[in-house]
Amino acid sequence: MISTNHKKISHRLKKRGWDSHYISKTITIMKKAEKNNKNKVKVLDAIIYWVILIFVLIGNMILLVGVVPVIIEMPQLVVILVLSLVGICFGFIIDTLIKEINLSTHHYLFAGVLIPVIATINMLYVIEISKIIAGKIGIIIKLNPLLVTFFYILFFSIPHVIYKIKEKKEFLTTKAM
């Protein structure tokens, strides 16, 4: 279920100079509005979450299929560099999407695990498809699929790790005040 992260909102408002009284009043209003949500709105929230997740996964597959010519024609180092760049860009998009729809912790963890797992499976399939296509046109691909996939997932995960480090630093500096 998509839910509001009140601590995060409170932290952002405090950072922008809001008085604690107004922050408290705003959070109270938000909590009351969430309690008054109709079941239909909650179901719609869940549907929106799943639709976004499906679009993200389909987008990942389309993006990886677009890299097939690079996989077929380029040496392994170039393929790793290209897929690392694609991975970091796509990882940034995914992480931003997940952060901005204010997922509850359970769904955030689920999306954080599910998306890289499916991206890994997609990557392995794309490499195998590339090998089949290359075989049909008489080219031999000498790629280590696990190595290429490792770098893709590594760079795919970097934006999330950076965000978590930044979030932790902000939390510690706010707590120290």
37-81, pLDDT tens digit by residue?
Answer: 666 777 777 787 778 778 877 887 888 888 888 888 889 899 999
User: Domain check: are 24 and 62 in the same one?
Assistant: no
Q: Provide DSSP, 11-28.
A: HHHHHTT--HHHHHHHHH
pTM above 0.85, yes or no: no
User: Domain check: are 143 and 71 in the same one?
Assistant: yes
User: Domain check: are 10 and 61 in the same one?
Assistant: no
123-138, pLDDT tens digit by residue?
Answer: 888 888 888 888 898 8
Q: Which residues of 25-34 are buried (b: 16+ CB within 10 A; e: fewer)?
A: eebeeeeeee
User: Domain check: are 148 and 102 in the same one?
Assistant: yes
User: Domain check: are 159 and 146 in the same one?
Assistant: yes
Q: Into how many domains does the chain fold?
A: 2
- The domain of 14 spans 1-37
What Rg value do the Cα atoms of the chain yield, rounded? 21
User: Domain check: are 18 and 58 in the same one?
Assistant: no
